[in-house]
Amino acid sequence: MTAALARDVSETFAMAVTTDTSNAALALRYDQIPYDALPHRATHPARLATAAALAGHPASPVARCSVLEVGCSDGSNLIPMAVSLPTARFVGCDLSPRALAAGRRTIEALGLTNVTLVEGDLAALAPVHGEFDFIVAHGVYSWVPPEVRDALFALAAQRLARDGVLYVSFNVLPGCRLRQAAWDVLHQHVDHIEEAHARLDGARALARLVADGGVATHEADQALRAEFRAIAQHSDSELAHDDLAVPNDPVFFKAFVQHAARHGLRYLAEAETQTSDLAGISDAAKNYLSTLEPLAREQYLDFFRLRRFRQSLLVREDAPSGATKPLGAMHVSANVTLTAAAATSGVHKLARRLDPASGGGGAVRKLLDALVANQPAAYEIASLEETLHVGPFPRPLEDVLADAYRWAIIDLHVHPSGLTILASDRPVASPLARLQARTNDTVTTLLHTQIAIADVNALRLLPLVDGTRDRAALAAAVKQFALDIDPSRAAHFVDYAIEKFARLGLLLAEGPAGTASAQ
């Protein structure tokens, strides 16, 4: 044991644990250790509307929707939505002045007029902001005191439109019990330490010691050692705002649903609907689940999966309900599962799962290959066979697609965002990605994901792809800044880079011709 660690241990028994959960304390923690804010694809209104439609809930049209994000940090999740949906309205609120200031600088740099960031308690959101079609609370519910959880649901009950959708992510039991055991150990060790970075250093040091501390008393306890091993590798943000967060209260799904019901809200579905599928569940467990009502089924599914985390959708108790939206009215695109399979020559295995009699070939295989070849484009299902020249299928196409979606092979969309895979002579990249590329190698796509651009020359080119330059002008610019490209190959490089930008979901569609959409 190091001298510093030994000193920490002795001080642990001499000093009181601090568990201040006031707004001021929470804001200070986020200012001391910045939160790694990211775009969360499942929270995009288009994704939420799709999940709601599949659950029989007619959400508002996405193009002109209103969205509130509580705990928005620097807007890394909200601002890309505002870029991709210019006629929609976005409001974010947070307690951290530093994070909000950074977000406002980005908004100003982009010239956005459809997004507003507000400093303050979610319970005090001004009436002037009106009601919302979508409310997003990612990383809030488990990490705030009980009174704030109440305030969140009270806000939703008051401000959610009648057909609105509330997204709430939270740590869930029973899976988080193991994590709680590790968290409790770390808190015992570092809660006496006031300086934020010193707390992280102390937690990591102890996590490493416990992870490699020897043979556990019981074989089953090796899982806890693995938990400490993972914690030791966590980023400062993960360690400070999840592992060492105060509060951090996982709950059973049943308790979450009951809490929502007390505020006039009811459970609708999971944002990632595939997580409620029974794939991988034993036949005996499936038989048991089939005897349960829907809410009980979800709770017992958590038991069988030992689930740790949920992304749940809630609606008002008086919200309209209807039939599940027909797939024929949606769009379809390749999922990450399908693209990964294509990279390892495994598409035939997915095709065989969807159509066992084909042996991995046939019309289903051709469809999957076509979606991969045109990724990230999404195609209207009603005209899919004609557009991609596939079929006839061994069973109704919608049944094939329903299974493919349930097994996370494809993505479905009620509102595909405007991007193109067929760039014009004057291509236009996302303004947010262009801004980010000036200072960072990680940019946000029109698919509401982040990607890293390793090619330095491509990164320098991206800010110039703003529609004011044709490919010849872009090639001329490449000749000026490129370090390792033969000037005679500049035009070739531009064509190559633009194609890559399109396949990464960075190029905006400019009109109906040559345009395909995805979200």
Length of the chain in terms of residues written: 519
Residues of the domain holding 170: 41-174+250-316
Q: Give residue 277's pLDDT.
A: 86
- pLDDT the model gives residue 18: 55
Residue 514 located in a structural domain: no
Domain edge (last residue) among 189, 213, 243? 243
Pair 27, 71 in one domain: no
Least confident of 154-168, 212-226, 292-306: 212-226
Domain assignment of residue 321, yes or no: no
Q: Is the pLDDT of residue 16 over 80?
A: no
Is 113 domain-assigned? yes
The whole-number pLDDT of residue 6 equals: 52
Residues 52 and 121 in one domain: yes
Least trusted range by pLDDT, from 7-11, 44-48, 57-61, 361-365 = 7-11
Mean pLDDT over 70-80 rounds to: 96
pLDDT at 13 over 70: no
Assess whether 20 and 156 both reside in one domain.
no
pLDDT tens per residue across span 256-290: 999 999 999 999 999 998 888 888 899 999 999 99
What residue type is assigned to position 84 of the chain? S
Contacts of 230 (CB under 8 A, 6+ apart): none
Residues 162 and 262 in one domain: yes
Rounded to 5 degrees, φ, ψ at 37 are -75, 135
Answer yes or no: is 263 within a domain: yes
257 in the same domain as 212:
no
Q: Are residues 61 and 209 in the same domain?
A: no
- Within this chain, do residues 143 and 183 fall inside the same structural domain, yes or no? no
Number of helices (H) and strands (E), helices first, in the chain? 22, 13
- Whether 227 maps to a domain, the answer reads yes
100 with 192, same domain: the answer is no
Note the pLDDT of residue 17: 45
Cα 88 to Cα 63: distance, rounded to the nearest angstrom: 6
159 and 272 share a domain? yes
Rg (CA), the chain: 25
pLDDT of residue 233 exceeding 50, the answer is yes
Mean pLDDT for the chain? 91
Does 201 lie in the same domain as 135? no
Task: Work out the pLDDT band at 2, boundaries 50, 70, 90.
Answer: low
- Using alpha carbons only, what angle is made at residue 85 by residues 495 and 500, rounded to the nearest 5 degrees? 15
pLDDT one-digit tens code per residue, 316-367: 999 987 777 788 899 999 999 999 999 999 999 999 999 999 888 999 999 9
Q: Total structural domains in the chain?
A: 4
Q: Is residue 339 assigned to a domain? A: yes
